């Protein structure tokens, strides 16, 4: 009886201690994850370039370990989304070898062209929630820099310019000027295909349409729902970074897509794909 009572008392006394130990261990794990996770885009730049110590201190030009080969190797190997099977080990190794070459290393620069943001936003349009992708890039102004909108993708806009008619049957006769362009009535009565009567190099300016709808009050902003960045600053390579909010060290801003680009035409094709052109 006394032995049973002793066991019960010991259990009551040890439970809080064990609980406290568990909390301390969790705090230590959380702090480790916090230090390992790339929490900000600017931090991704610093780690990619080897401009931050493993404890989070900023390095500047002239510091001993600034952009050191060994430091960059440590960071570059952990800046990938490990759950993405398309980023194979050989592809990753080839990229790191190119970026961290002893003879000719490559870096990314926040203020230089060759990278842009893809921002998915939620708006209210004609009484319904819609999602519009806004493409943004850094632009210099006077002595500083700012983010500016360069393009948008809105499926509703794109659908307006998807004609179902045969393009070869839609044209104005070359002698239309002799009848004072009276046949324009046919163009404007055929509003679903009016874009077929424009010059062959004409393309819709979705950004202007977007601004127009905003100014008319037809689009009402609600929130940002997703964000990613596309990089073309490393010769013959393209990569994308996304933010992964999940447990563990492999979280935060990580390379979520990686591709070798053979020439400029391939790079243009990737950009057109990203922008749904």
Residue 122 has what pLDDT? Answer: 98
Residue ranges for the chain with pLDDT beneath 70: 1-35, 163-168
Domain locations along the chain: 37-114+232-274, 115-161+204-231, 166-202
Residue 9 has what pLDDT? Answer: 35
Residue 13 has what pLDDT? Answer: 33
Alpha carbon distance 257, 277 (integer Å): 20
Residue pointed to by tokens 């998915």? 120
* Token digits of residue 130: 């819609």
Return the closest-CA partner of residue 86 out of 249, 260, 232, 203.
260
């Amino acid at each position: 009886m006394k032995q049973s009572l002793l066991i019960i008392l010991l259990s009551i006394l040890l439970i809080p201690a064990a609980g406290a130990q568990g909390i301390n261990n969790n705090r230590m794990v959380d702090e480790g994850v916090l230090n390992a996770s790339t929490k900000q885009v600017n931090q991704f730049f610093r780690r990619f370039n080897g401009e931050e110590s493993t404890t989070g201190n900023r390095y500047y030009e002239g510091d001993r370990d600034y952009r050191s080969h060994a430091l960059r190797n440590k960071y570059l190997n952990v800046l990938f989304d490990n759950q993405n099977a398309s980023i194979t080990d050989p592809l990753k190794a080839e990229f790191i070898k190119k970026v961290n070459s002893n003879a000719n290393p490559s870096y990314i620069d926040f203020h230089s062209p060759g990278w842009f943001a893809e921002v998915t936003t939620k708006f209210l349009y004609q009484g319904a929630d819609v999602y519009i992708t806004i493409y943004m890039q850094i632009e210099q102004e006077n002595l500083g820099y700012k983010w500016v909108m360069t393009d948008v993708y809105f499926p509703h806009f794109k659908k307006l310019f998807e004609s179902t008619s045969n393009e070869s049957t839609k044209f104005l006769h070359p002698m239309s000027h002799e009848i004072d362009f009276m046949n324009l009535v046919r163009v404007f009565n055929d509003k679903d295909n009016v874009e077929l009567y424009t010059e062959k190099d004409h393309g819709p300016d979705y950004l202007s349409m977007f601004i127009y709808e905003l100014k008319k009050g037809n689009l009402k902003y609600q929130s940002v729902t997703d964000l990613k960045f596309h990089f073309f600053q490393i010769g013959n390579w393209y990569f994308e970074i996304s933010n992964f909010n999940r447990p563990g060290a492999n979280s935060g801003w990580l390379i979520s897509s990686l591709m070798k680009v053979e020439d400029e035409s391939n790079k243009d094709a990737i950009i057109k794909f990203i922008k749904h052109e």
